[in-house]
Amino acid sequence: MPFVLVRIDDRLIHGQVAVAWGSWLAPDRIVLVNDEVATTEWKRDLYGATDALGAAVAIATIEQFLRSVREGSWESERLIVIVESPRDLLSLVRGGLEIASANVGGMHYSEGKRELLPYVFVDDEDAAVLREIIAAGTALEARDVPQAQPVDVVSLLERSGDERTG
């Protein structure tokens, strides 16, 4: 599958994704994989109307996306895949999707989360899920925009005092 980027971003599709990453990677399609958005008509309409600078936008539940990949639906397209959370990415990995590497681009502050980077905040559950994704063979890098220096997520977890990364 020609994934040019698989990204965790709790803001889903927004300017940073469409403009910065879209211009940098020139995808054919941005696929937003999120059960809530895909099953809520007004959210699906809102995100589906996003101007993605010439890239088509598709919205799918996790199961729909996994099925479409198994069926070869987007084999000839360059895809940016956006999920909202580490848990959504883990669901894709557990569902059999082979993802060599993924980008942690936006996990913003909420109550109970600690800062790893100004754009990456995690709680214990997030950290555990990120570790499980890494253990399954997916490399994770934190980077908000393409021009930024990538940061290894394992090292971020270790520096934050989370010693359960190995």
Which residues are part of the catalytic machinery?
14
Render 64-129 in DSSP notation, one character per residue. HHHHHHHTTTTTTS-EEEEESSHHHHHHHHHTT---SEEEEEEB---TT-EEEETTEEE-HHHHHH
**Which residues lie across from 106 on neighbouring strands?**
9
- CA distances from residue 107 to 66, 94, 116, 150 in whole angstroms, order as listed: 23, 21, 10, 15
Q: Could you give the CA distance from residue 97 to residue 10 in angstroms, rounded to a whole number?
A: 20
